[in-house]
Amino acid sequence: MLRLLARGLANKEISRDLGIAEKTVKTHVSSILGKLGVQSRTQAALYAGRVGGVPVNQLGAPQPDDERR
């Protein structure tokens, strides 16, 4: 889920991609922010790029298989 968040997807898009409820996504995002000790989605995305979870050149960028963008 951190990869999707780092790509800049909205909760609605993440819920659709993962096949889970949007409220569940909100719960998981809040949990991720808390565990990482950050206060925003942007900070979480930067953390993901820093630790190697998401290549920095892909932060906020649509993926080739992402037909919506």
pLDDT value at residue 50: 83
Of 7, 6, 4, whose CA–CA distance to 16 is shortest?
4
0.85 exceeded by the pTM?
Answer: no
Q: What is the pLDDT along the chain (69 residues), one digit of tens a residue?
A: 888 998 889 999 999 999 999 999 999 999 999 999 999 999 998 888 888 666 655 555 555 554 443
Burial of 3 (0-12, 13-18, 19+ CB in 10 A): middle
Here the tokens at position 8 are: 């800049």
User: pLDDT per residue over 40-52, tens digit each?
Assistant: 999 998 888 888 6
**Percent of the chain at pLDDT above 90?**
54
